[in-house]
Structure 1
Amino acid sequence: MPVLVITGTGTEIGKTVVTAAVAASALAAGRSVAVLKPAQTGVRSDERGDADEVARLAGPVTARELARYPEPLAPATAARRSGLPPVHPHDVAEAAAKLATEHDLVLIEGAGGLLVRFDAAGGTLADAAALLGAPVLVVAPAGLGTLNSTELTARELRSRELELAGVVIGSWPADPDLATRCNVSDLPEVAGGELLGAVPEGTARLTPAEFRRQAPAWLAPRLWGTWDAEGFQGREGAG
Structure 2
Amino acid sequence: MTEAPTPSSQASLTGLPQVIFVTGTDTGVGKTITTAALATALPGTVSVYKPAQTGVGDGEPGDADEVRRLSGAARVTEGIRLLEPMAPVAAAARQGAALPSLANHVRHIEQLAAESDHVLVEGAGGLLVELDGEGRTLADLAAAMGNSDVGGAGVVVVCRSGLGTLNHTLLTLEALETRNLAAAGLVIGSWPVEPSAVEEDNLRYLQSVDVPFLGAIPQDAAGLHPAKFQADARDWFRLL
* Shorter-chain TM-score above 0.5: yes
5+ residue gaps, structure 2, are 1-16, 147-152
Change (3 A) 1:88 1:187: farther
State the Cα deviation string for residues 80-117 of structure 1 (Å, max 9, x = none). 11111113322222111110001111000000100001
State the Cα deviation string for residues 58-98 of structure 1 (Å, max 9, x = none). 01330110101000010111111111111332222211111
Q: Residue 147 of structure 1 aligns with which residue? A: 166
Equivalent residues in 2 for 1:217-236, closer than 5 Å: 217-220=235-238, 225-226=239-240
Deviation at 1:39, TM superposition (A): 0.2
Contact 1:154–1:164 (CA under 8 A) maintained in structure 2: yes
Q: Residue 222 of structure 2 aligns with which residue? A: 204
> Does 2:36 correspond to 1:17?
no
Contact 1:41–1:72 (CA under 8 A) maintained in structure 2: yes
Tell me which of 39, 49, 53 is aligned to 2:62: 49
The one-letter code sitting in structure 2 at the alignment partner of 1:205 is G
> Does 2:50 correspond to 1:32?
no
The one-letter code sitting in structure 1 at the alignment partner of 2:192 is P
Question: What is the number of residues matched between the two proteins?
Answer: 218
Equivalent residues in 2 for 1:93-132, closer than 5 Å: 93-132=106-145
Tell me which of 79, 91, 96 is aligned to 1:78: 91
TM-score (norm 1): 0.88
Contact 2:190–2:217 (CA under 8 A) maintained in structure 1: yes
Contact 1:93–1:129 (CA under 8 A) maintained in structure 2: no
The alignment yields a C-alpha RMSD, in angstroms, of 1.1
SS at match of 2:79: strand
Q: Residue 7 of structure 2 aligns with which residue? A: none
Higher relative contact order (CA closer than 8 Å, sequence separation 6+): 2
Contact 1:36–1:63 (CA under 8 A) maintained in structure 2: yes
Identity %: 47
5+ residue gaps, structure 1, are 227-239
TM-score (norm 2): 0.88
